Amino acid sequence: MKKKLILDEKAIDRALSRIAHEILEKNKGAEGLVLLGIPTRGYHVASRLASVIDSIEKGKTPYGAIDATLYRDDIGMKETKPLRKTDIPIPIDGRVVVMVDDVLFTGRTIRAAMNALMDFGRPNCIQLAVLVDRGHRELPIRADYVGKNVPTSLKEEIKVYLSEVDGVNEVVSITAEEKQ
Q: Exposure of 122 by Cβ count < 10 A (0-12 exposed, 13-18 middle, 19+ buried)?
A: exposed
Q: Does 5 bind another protein (CB under 8 A)?
A: no
Least distance to another protein, CB of residue 122, Å: 11
Pick 10 or 78: Cβ nearer another protein: 78
Q: Does 77 bind another protein (CB under 8 A)?
A: yes
**Please, which residues bridge with residue 173 across strands?**
4, 158
Rg over alpha carbons for the chain, rounded to the nearest Å, is 16
- Site residues (CB under 8 A) for another protein, limited to 80-109: 80-87
Among 71, 99, 102, 113, binds another protein (CB under 8 A): 71
Q: Does 120 bind another protein (CB under 8 A)?
A: yes
Is the CB of residue 114 less than 8 Å from the CB of residue 52? no
Which among 11-19, 102-110, 118-126, 137-145 is the span making contact with another protein, rule CB under 8 A? 118-126
3's enclosing H/E stretch is strand 2-7
